[in-house]
Structure 1
């Protein structure tokens, strides 16, 4: 009986010696991936704010860079503009589907001063990194969301 306990202890120790470092490395890889995604997101939005336009080539280049980092993601390009009337009333117009359609059809979309642009990335793939991270402590989080945006000056 004592031998069985020792064998079990050795097996558990061997498993833990391999799994804890794997989980630690997976956590580091996720953090690095998040930093790279956020940096790509910030660069794309800030360049669009300075140039005040988005072209088909720029959007496809951004999507290609994301495909190199992620798999199983959805990108939402949200733009809206605020109209101010003489009585001081404001009305917002949501343009995100219109922007994506125009970018894909006409190859360019011009922003005006005061427009807001936001990009939202939803990463919903359950890859190796996520599986290793939830090995010991299940997080229950299946979708990771990255959002960045701002107003066109």
Structure 2
């Protein structure tokens, strides 16, 4: 084998390395996702509950009710915020979740399942968004993959991140 053939072979192997790395990252991330967020929990009809999820369920349900019944993202709830409409300011951080749930429900998903799939989306985006951000900052493919790998590891193995999954 000539030197140029060996160089070409090494270059081809180097070009394939990021793809292999990305494949391993996706497989490991999805395996951990299934462990920490079982499909039976995501695709069940009951919304994920506990701590901060209970707050978001109330917010999302009110907005879904408002959009479905009156075409508005707010409702008046005399039992909460007496004298003020619910779904206007206090849930500003949940608007995407509310619209996602409403859209999923209108597309035929059970309301609880639609709510849960937003959590699934957050888990799926955990390594992807840092990868895209790294590429937009001009990092090469390997550096962006390292960023995504570290983001995935942080998402699954950092105790503070785990705490935020449940308390917001």
The TM tier, using the shorter chain, reads: 0.3 to 0.5
Normalized against structure 2, the TM-score is what? 0.31
Structure with more helix by fraction: 2
Higher-Rg structure is 1
Structure with more strand by fraction: 1
Structure showing greater relative contact order (alpha-carbon pairs closer than 8 Å, 6 or more residues apart): 1
